[in-house]
Structure 1
Amino acid sequence: MPWQRLEWLMHPLLVRLGPKFLRSRVIWGMALFAVAVTITALDYLPQKLDLKVGQPSPQDFKAPQGIVYESEVLTQKAREEAARQVTPVYRVDSSVEAALTGQVDNIFQSLREINNSTSDSNERVARLKARLSHLKLTAPTLQALAAADATTLNNLAGITRNIVNQVMGEAVPQDAVNIARDKMLAAVETAGIETRYKPVVAAIIQQLELKPNLIYDVAATMQKREKAAAEVSPVQVTIRQNEKIVSDGELVTAEDIEALQKLGLLRSGASWGALFGLVFFQALLVALLLLYLRFFKPGIYNSNQLLLLLGLLWLIFLVFSRGVAAISLGSRAEFTRLVGYLMPVAAGSMLVAILLDAQVAVIFTFFLALEAGIIGGNLYQFTAMGAASGLVGIYCVTHLSQRSDLARSSLFLMLANLLSVVALGLMLKSTLSQLSIAAVLALANGLLSTVLTIGFLPFLENSFGITTAVKLLELSNPNHPLLKRLLLEAPGTYHHSILVGNLAEAAADAVGADSLLARVGAYYHDIGKLKRPYFFIENQVTAENPHDRLAPTLSTLIISCHVKDGLEMAREYRLPRVIQDIIAQHHGASLMTYFYHKARESGRGDSVSEDDFRYEGPIPRSKEAAIVMLADSVEAGIRSLPKPTPGRMEGFVRKIIREKLEDGQLEASDLTFRELAVIAKAFMRVLNGIFHTRVEYPEVVLKEMERRKSRNGVLHKQSAG
């Protein structure tokens, strides 16, 4: 199950760190995330439209890039037009025809009843006249009707119904009612009715209550219109780069506002879906970064301090990027959008590479590049340039040898940014003016990133106690107060430290350790000797050795105290923790063999314990500290060799390394046997350079060299005169 997998991954960390640690990192993490999302989401917060339909545009708007989108405004207009083109639906109401035939049947039924009621012809005429008074029939017509039998009346009724059905069976709209009546009257003349009965049928038709049978079908018409609107395909709008959307002073339409919104030139009200998507994407980026640190950089992941540093760098970048995004480059929106090229992704990349790790800096670069694209209006060109700029920045600071390298990195950044902008401009078909402005911004980006890196680096170093290559380079300066004191008060120790630094640097470089840290650590490893410089043989200018008058135990105490004194001086001068570790560990728990054997020879014999003549430790816990220990022992001992030939020196170096290994001084340093062999070879390369064989020139050659030197000096004076 996923939750069980997560618990399995997190359980060892929970047990090791404890609840208090997790609470603090969760609280700080949530606070940093909330602030970062707020900064990033400013474009998604509710705000008024910059333009309204029917108002004049305050500026020219051109498309900064090409885009194809489905226009809701135009699609709605097309659907409304399709609905208007639909012919209204009418239907024939059969009840109108039925009502008319019912009227005819009622009239003829009355006629049949009157004719059947009496045999008196005059009485039938009188009753018919009264019943059909509204028909205004003549006397002959009434007499003919009174004389009609039932069959005749039934025939007349059938003919009349047929005439009505024939005419009203068709659609009769409101304006065709009179026409329909005329058709019925015309049909009477051709229906085969006896002449004497035609006036009766015509009068009945004339008095019928005709109504239109064609009525408007609202439901069917609406259904037909909806179907027509639904069949309209969404309208695709294609806008090309630099195409003018609306001109300055031109009345803005709904289509213009929609196009500007799609291009990101206008920001509408809050889109909660987009806001949720942004928060989710930010959480995804942070989770991926933390997972990378969890599995590949556990040292950083387990440090609240370093995680806080990454979070602060993230916030600093977002603040600067938001400020950059607020810059306006005049009234033309397509130029203002180009300020995204000024977002200093490389500054964050270089700071992480210097303060933490180059591999973490690569991941962090893509993290910041995506943020730049989001803040810049979800445009990929800002992400692309940010990634390229950040990677070049990491390359520039990976192997810092002096502070001026940081300043020179701005040139590489400016060149990389310029090439990136030109390539992206060609891809996006930018105009010459747009390309020129983007190039200027790209060059400024390189300079800005370097300035921010140099400005923030000391602050972050001191605030988080991180020792960077730049800090180590500053400490390696001979003008540092401690090194100047060492040169003046303990010159022998100073010279020894310089040689140890050369040995340690070569060895560390050979095994892939931090060579700069090893060299600087070697410079300061013996600063404790400043307290009592003349108790150490390299600083003794006379043949008198003060230890000759001291007991071995006291001499051991004095010698071993230079480690503790060195740590106190390192803290006083605020040397970094890694340098303090090398000072504390450069002797480990080694045995001071000279004083130990001197004590045994003094007559106490087996009562002398080795533990009383060992340094307090701890033993080296890093490769750099172990290398400084070996270099210190090799440099101090090599001077005791009567004739340091390459063979003797190599044997001595391997003997020193073997003794330290057998004494257990290298157990915590992670150095392998192969690396120890490599270290020995590196030591030999440096020692052979120091103790190389010198050519003994014959006396005749020396005299000739001296004569030429004098002659060159005279010629130089003559030419100068």
Structure 2
Amino acid sequence: MRSNLLKHLRQITLSPELRKSRSLRATIYVVITALLYLLFLGNVLPERYDYEVGAIAEKSIKAPTDAVDTLATNRLRENARKNVPRQFNKDTEVEERAYADVNKLLETVRRFGADPALSAEDKLASIKREVPNLALSDEQLKKLLAVPVDTLPLLRNEATRLIQQVYVEEITDATIPAIDTKLDAMLGFSALDRDSRLLVKEMVKPLIRPNMIYDYEQTEKKRNEEAAAIPAVQINKGEIIVKQGERIDEDTLSKLKDLKLTAQDPNYRMYVGFAALITFWSLVLCLYLELTGSKVGSNNLLLLCLGIIIIIVALSTKTLSLAEPLGFANIGYLAPVAMGTMLIAILFDTQLGIVMAFLFALLTGAAFDFKFDLIFISFISGLTGVFAVSQVKSRLVIMRAGFIIAGVNLLTIAAMQALSSSTGGELSSYLQSFLFGIIGGVFSAVVTIGVLPFLESSFGILTPISLLELSNPNHPLLKKLLMEAPGTYHHSLIVGNLAEAAAETVEADPLICRVGAFFHDVGKMKRPMFFIENQMSKENPHDKIAPSLSHLIITSHVRDGLEMQEEYRLPKAIRDICEQHHGTTILWYFYNKALEQDKSNSVKVDDFRYAGPKPQTKEAAIVMLCDAVEAAVRAMNRPTPNRIESVIQKIFKDRLNDGQLDECDLTFKDLDKIAEAFLRTLNGIYHARIEYPEPPKAN
């Protein structure tokens, strides 16, 4: 049933221009990147909540990432700021100005008080004019003028003593109100009478000003330093912010905002961060394909196939992640990373499979909260899949690889469980992890076997498995060739052996050469008796027809073969070998026969050429040379090593001179290696044999 489905499955085709188009290649990369971003963005972004203070939590909420508790941090830092006292700078000039003001006042009082020409009012006015900042009232000033002149020095001395004692301490705005009490206490030890003491107090008190000046900038600097020294209060990943049923308070709501878990505060940082991660993912893939010269990087059809595999793995992983909240905590071990790497290793190459094992593991991490153990186990599983199918020869090998992956998963999961920081766990959780690991390995192999034929057929990719299946003698077309054209069948087998041996020496694909050689002459089945290897009798049908008709019959086997191969859905690489294995060579036998029969000199050599095209690949060129050499050597009467070597050299020279090898990648050095391989193989086939004697007759 599957073979019938594959037979009718249409193959995806792209024109040569689109296969090489850089714009299409860039579009494929962009589409893959965008799909992966949209697919896993929901897994990376945490759930957001629309809560207000006083609301009841509908579910327990854990911190999805680390964050800073802004409210708690601000509280601690504000307390630290408050504990820093105000900063002051000492102004020594304040005390000097107080001394100067006392001296000036008393000197002015002495000078104007002793002037008999001035009235009492004039004296007051003169003193106020000389001492504009005078804080004494008129009554106090009159009392000061009434003091005898010889007593003024005593007042000066007492005032100076008070000022000196006051400024022993630091005076600030806050301590100014206490100056009055301090002055009373200091004057208690004075020898002056009561009126004089009061006069000195009233004179000194206005002169006392703060000598400590508030420094706002220094204060703020100190407070900021103390606040900055307070470490931020951290919200740790996994910390329970609120339990189900608890009331949302101001602190809880602040934590939700800090974690960007509120509906009003989208976490743009995570949007940008995940976009950068997926872009990095695609850049790694792009740079690897471009810098290593991978065939996938230069063929957009193969890149499209790779993109489909990536999306299949991504969709499967995304689907599994949706089941995790339903109670399947370890379902990530089912991630089909091994399936993707096995498909890539079989369809493309092992090195690309190794790179994709790493990239697929990152996608698994994105789907399951970037858990390290899951990323590591996925990576090991993918690598195991690559190595297990590196020498795949049949689909049974893929199934065997599935069991190998299951075993490796089991060991890796056990190792990671043993290294887990938790001291214990439920037995059911361990058993579930092991079960998922085993199922994941086997399931990856089953899906790989199911998906592989569709990708091979849809994208025309030849894998070792499909080539080995085509080379099976039980293939319907080969069985038909054996029954209807046995000579051609055996000729094709020998050509296949020659081509495989030659391909191994020049880094061509031996398997494609062998399979292409098996099918290159299937078109001869349409008229088998017109080809000499199938003529069992001495009668040759070409003797009865014109050389031009013989040319048409012989050359038509290429077209007939292509039609048969298309009917049996053979891959394009095999059809190309059939189409190109004669190139545009000339049928010299029928051309010479036509010259002998020509009476009007109208025969042209180009009329007896094959339609072509010339070989475009190493494999097609090798089959062309094998086909010609095998036919020539088989036609020899006594194929000795020297004669075989001469025939090989002649055929190679003819093909070079005719330009048949101009469009393939074979070099002269390659031709020398191919000739050596032909000679070695043909000598083994046509080696000399001894003649066995007849057994003696019985008496």
The two structures have a TM-score, normalised by structure 2, of: 0.72
Change (3 A) 1:265 1:485: farther
The alpha-carbon deviation at position 590 of structure 1 amounts to: 2.6
Q: Which residue of the partner structure matches residue 546 of structure 2?
A: 551
Q: Which residue of the partner structure matches residue 393 of structure 2?
A: 401
Q: Tell whether the 8 Å contact from 1:508 to 1:624 is kept in structure 2 after alignment.
A: yes
Comparing 673-682 and 396-405, the one that deviates more = 673-682
SS of residue matched to 1:588: coil
Q: Which residue of the partner structure matches residue 612 of structure 2?
A: 617
* Pair 1:306 & 2:305 matched: no
The correspondence for 1:569, drawn from 551, 564, 567, is 564
SS of residue matched to 2:324: coil
Q: 1:229-249: per-residue Cα shift (whole Å, max 9, x none)? A: 23346689999xxx9878977
Q: Which residue of the partner structure matches residue 39 of structure 2?
A: 39
SS of residue matched to 1:48: coil
Q: 1:497-525: per-residue Cα shift (whole Å, max 9, x none)? A: 33332332233234332122112212221
Q: Which residue of the partner structure matches residue 132 of structure 2?
A: none
Alignment of 1:644-659 (within 5 A): 652-653=647-648, 655-659=650-654
The correspondence for 1:318, drawn from 296, 314, 318, is 314
Comparing 85-94 and 541-550, the one that deviates more = 85-94
Q: Tell whether the 8 Å contact from 1:174 to 1:214 is kept in structure 2 after alignment.
A: no
Change (3 A) 1:403 1:212: same
Change (3 A) 1:87 1:462: same
CA distance in 1, matches of 2:261, 2:46: 16
CA distance in 2, matches of 1:302, 1:213: 85
Q: Which residue of the partner structure matches residue 4 of structure 2?
A: none
* Pair 1:48 & 2:48 matched: yes
* Pair 1:476 & 2:500 matched: no
Q: 1:130-172: per-residue Cα shift (whole Å, max 9, x none)? A: x99999xxxxxx9x99985354477457636754774587468
Question: Aligned Cα RMSD in Å?
Answer: 5.5
CA distance in 2, matches of 1:614, 1:254: 92
Q: Which residue of the partner structure matches residue 667 of structure 1?
A: 662
Change (3 A) 1:600 1:324: same
Alignment of 1:490-501 (within 5 A): 490-501=485-496
Q: Which residue of the partner structure matches residue 30 of structure 2?
A: 30
Q: Which residue of the partner structure matches residue 628 of structure 1?
A: 623
Change (3 A) 1:270 1:484: farther
Alignment of 1:258-337 (within 5 A): 270-287=266-283, 289-297=285-293, 300-328=296-324, 336=329
5+ residue gaps in structure 2?
Answer: 1-15, 121-135
User: Which residue identity does 2:186 align to in structure 1?
Assistant: A
CA distance in 2, matches of 1:258, 1:650: 90
Q: 1:326-371: per-residue Cα shift (whole Å, max 9, x none)? A: 442777xxx94x6555443443333333333444444444444444
Alignment of 1:216-295 (within 5 A): 219=216, 221-232=219-230, 270-287=266-283, 289-295=285-291
* Higher RCO, Cα 8 Å, sep 6+: 2
5+ residue gaps in structure 1?
Answer: 1-15, 120-130, 136-141, 704-721
CA distance in 2, matches of 1:133, 1:513: 123
SS of residue matched to 1:328: helix
User: Which residue identity does 1:475 align to in structure 2?
Assistant: L
Q: Tell whether the 8 Å contact from 2:410 to 2:438 is kept in structure 1 after alignment.
A: yes
* Pair 1:462 & 2:461 matched: no
Q: Tell whether the 8 Å contact from 1:188 to 1:198 is kept in structure 2 after alignment.
A: no
User: Which residue identity does 1:523 align to in structure 2?
Assistant: F
Comparing 599-608 and 399-408, the one that deviates more = 599-608
The alpha-carbon deviation at position 415 of structure 1 amounts to: 4.4
Change (3 A) 1:149 1:665: closer
Q: 1:439-498: per-residue Cα shift (whole Å, max 9, x none)? A: 555444433443443343333333333333333334334444433432333333333333
The alpha-carbon deviation at position 192 of structure 1 amounts to: 0.8
Q: Which residue of the partner structure matches residue 125 of structure 2?
A: none
Q: Tell whether the 8 Å contact from 2:45 to 2:270 is kept in structure 1 after alignment.
A: no
The two structures have a TM-score, normalised by structure 1, of: 0.70
Change (3 A) 1:684 1:164: closer
Change (3 A) 1:630 1:157: closer
Change (3 A) 1:254 1:574: farther
Q: Tell whether the 8 Å contact from 1:44 to 1:271 is kept in structure 2 after alignment.
A: no
Alignment of 1:134-533 (within 5 A): 149-152=148-151, 155-156=154-155, 159=158, 162-163=161-162, 166-167=165-166, 170=169, 181=180, 183-193=182-192, 197-198=193-194, 201=197, 219=216, 221-232=219-230, 270-287=266-283, 289-297=285-293, 300-328=296-324, 336=329, 341-378=333-370, 384-418=376-410, 421=413, 440-533=435-528
User: Which residue identity does 2:533 align to in structure 1?
Assistant: E
Q: Tell whether the 8 Å contact from 1:45 to 1:270 is kept in structure 2 after alignment.
A: no
User: Which residue identity does 1:276 align to in structure 2?
Assistant: V
The alpha-carbon deviation at position 581 of structure 1 amounts to: 0.8
User: Which residue identity does 2:526 align to in structure 1?
Assistant: K
Change (3 A) 1:69 1:274: closer
Change (3 A) 1:268 1:284: farther
Change (3 A) 1:398 1:654: farther
Q: Which residue of the partner structure matches residue 133 of structure 2?
A: none
SS of residue matched to 1:410: helix
Q: Tell whether the 8 Å contact from 1:472 to 1:516 is kept in structure 2 after alignment.
A: yes
Q: Tell whether the 8 Å contact from 1:589 to 1:619 is kept in structure 2 after alignment.
A: yes
Q: 1:569-616: per-residue Cα shift (whole Å, max 9, x none)? A: 223333222111111111222333433344445576976543333322
User: Which residue identity does 1:310 align to in structure 2?
Assistant: L
State the identity as a percent: 37
Comparing 270-279 and 50-59, the one that deviates more = 50-59
The alpha-carbon deviation at position 541 of structure 1 amounts to: 4.5
The alpha-carbon deviation at position 43 of structure 1 amounts to: 4.9
Q: Which residue of the partner structure matches residue 586 of structure 2?
A: 591
CA distance in 1, matches of 2:373, 2:567: 50
Change (3 A) 1:146 1:656: closer
Q: Which residue of the partner structure matches residue 8 of structure 1?
A: none
CA distance in 2, matches of 1:683, 1:576: 27
How many residue pairs align between the two structures? 650
Change (3 A) 1:391 1:212: same
CA distance in 2, matches of 1:374, 1:44: 6
CA distance in 2, matches of 1:555, 1:147: 158
Q: Which residue of the partner structure matches residue 130 of structure 2?
A: none
CA distance in 1, matches of 2:365, 2:671: 49
The alpha-carbon deviation at position 558 of structure 1 amounts to: 0.9
Change (3 A) 1:395 1:267: farther
